[in-house]
Amino acid sequence: MAQWITPVLLVFSGAMALPPPWVPEMNSTHACDEYYSKGECSFEDTPFMHESCSSLSGFMMLLQTTMMARCDVADPCRRFETDEIEEYEAFDFIIVGAGVAGPVIARRLADHVPFWKVLLIEAGPPEPSMTAFPGFAFNAVNTSLDWSYKTEPTRPHPTACLETGGVCTWPRGKMVSGSGGMYGMMYVRGHPEVFNRWARAGNKGWSYDEIEHYFERAEDVEVPGMTSGSEKRITGENGPLKIKYYDHRPEFTEEVLKAAAELGYKTSRLAGEDSTGFMIAPMIIEDGIRGTTSRLYLRPIAHRPNLKILTHAQVTRIVKENWDGEARGVELIDRKGTRKIIRADKEIILTAGAIGSPQILLNSGIGPKKDLEELGIPVWEDLPVGHNLHNHVSYGIKMSINDTYYETITVDAVEKFLHNRTGPLTSTGLTQVTAFLESSFTTPGVPDIQVFFDGFSSKCPMLGVKDECPGGTVGSCPGRRELVARPTTAIVKTRGVLKLRSKDPLDRPLLYPNYFEDEQDLKVLLEGIRKVEEMIDTKTMKKWDLRFEETNFTACSRYHFGTDAYWECMIRTQTGPENHQAGTCKMGPSRDPTAVVDPELRVHGIPNIRVADASIYPEVPNANPTASIVMIAEKAADMIGNTWIGM
């Protein structure tokens, strides 16, 4: 059998070993393996495949054990998280949330001034080794690494997710790397017009021309122009994010682009003002491994003395200084269940995401006065925290093609990864293809529909053999391969609200997305479905016999398949809430009654609390939000540094 099936079994210790002195310069896998095997570089890993797969096969168990034992995957010698901290220990800056934005700001502040003490706090565990594989990109969803939020039905009548009683599920990462450890790794900035609308609303300094260099500061692109549309760079140096195309592509990815070309669409380098069409998307990936901001920003500065990462610690509220009304620290509950207060001498920066950040503010008494008083929470600042909640929304069209349906993750695929970092483990399959299209409702040239594709990937293969069929059988596999196209409303009109459920800071918040309350969102999505139909009718797709797989639900059975009424019913029944929640701490000038933070990202009325994540979006960009969240974090780090350097 393959060599990798003789793994070194490791018991992962919760204790953090002292790093060897050569760690920052360590490039040798052999050297890492030597120290790892001696226990000199240990960290607490989190296996989760048993949660992701209803039945964890021997193949998957062995794959997980082997990969977690590999030093070049686990990367233990560049880990420096801890789950212990002294009460009332003081830092200059406390950053709450180690998802996408938090690691960026932590790295930049630690770089700015060597004697600034920076604390990054995360509610979940260190980034698990098994999230590193693009081939298992979404396996952490619905595990202990996922907050798995549930929305509330729209009142008075549910308008979406009717299949589950009007309740939608929102996956959100609960680990170092956050949702960045459980998404498809796509890196797209979004159309400049969206950012220009931010600026026109009074957010000085946030037009696309003014923020473009912050995108560039983060990017190390494989192909010039792949993210910006221009081969010219504003900044001279490459950034930490390794952005490239996957090396592994199923043959069908190119067929999708051929079909798009038949329809007259552009099929490469969708960026900047020219972003309508289909493309193989740029991804954040390094040497076949998922690129997260925690991996790419923090690990290169492992064991920097002025930076500490605290895990398994949930921040419950910000502590107020009574004499001047400013923030002086955070209250948290650590792994042992102990409440502690940690002091911040300069600023507290919330990067806990569009759900976590407003929840912390509300629990601190920063939010709508009426709502806080009803719960008996003392009001610190009366602001519309939790309002402006919005999210991209999609519908998954089930389709199939004439192709034998084999599993993609096999022993051979693992061998390819181990030998030269290629093969299906280093790719998300058909998910690397995306489209940005325009409905009849949008400003010409500004796409308001994004289409995602799913297929040619495995979640929980049973046997790992070459001819394995879905379900773990071998031999006569289905002659049709299942695919999904997910048209998505990328510029949404509907706004919802986040509220506290109770004054218990650990209670889940109430989430009212109000999907399709503005029916334009539904009509745009319907046009997206029609555009997928156009692709099905191309010569290229007919060669594959691409066709819809009709889904029958009692609620929609009275409508003829394919009619507008049928699709509208299906959209409301099987709504696809995307994982792009935004807007709950909206950025805007002081004259804007709907704003929570100012253009410097400071909470209005409390200058030493900032928010720097997707919650500050006045309007979510019309693309996957990761790139713009990193941009926000880069800009925030500059603004924070400029405030305090020299003081």
What number of residues does the chain have?
Answer: 647
Consult the annotation and say whether 315 binds a ligand. yes
Query: Can you tell me the distance from the alpha carbon of 582 to that of 361, in angstroms, rounded to the nearest whole number?
Result: 15
| 3-state helix/strand/coil string of 537-557 | CCHHHHHCCCEECCCCCHHHC
Closest C-alpha among 534, 626, 604, 479 to residue 137: 626
3-state SS assignment for residue 561? coil
Alpha-carbon torsion angle 215, 216, 217, 220, nearest 10: 120
3-state SS assignment for residue 117? coil
Edge to edge, the sheet with strand 241-244 lists: 219-221, 241-244, 283-286, 289-290
Residue 394, phi-psi category: left (phi > 0), alpha (psi -120 to 50), beta (remainder) = beta
* 604 assigned to active site: no
Under DSSP, the state recorded for 296 is I
Those residues whose C-beta lies under 8 Å from the C-beta of residue 400, and which sit 6 or more positions away, are 480, 481, 482, 483, 546, 547, 549
* 156 prior amide bond cis, ω within 30: yes
Per-residue tokens: 219: 């990017």
Bridge-based pairing state of the strands 606-611 and 339-350: parallel
Which of 312, 387, 580, 604 is the catalytic position? 580
Indicate if the alpha-carbon torsion angle 513, 516, 519, 523 is positive or negative: positive
Query: Can you tell me the distance from the alpha carbon of 354 to that of 389, in angstroms, rounded to the nearest whole number?
Result: 8
Per-residue tokens: 317: 């509220």
Element (H, E) at 308: strand 307-310
| 3-state helix/strand/coil string of 166-214 | CCCEECCECCCCHHHHCCCCECCCCCHHHHHHHHHCCCCCCCHHHHHHH
Residues taking part in catalysis: 580
Known binding residues for FAD:
315
Known binding residues:
315
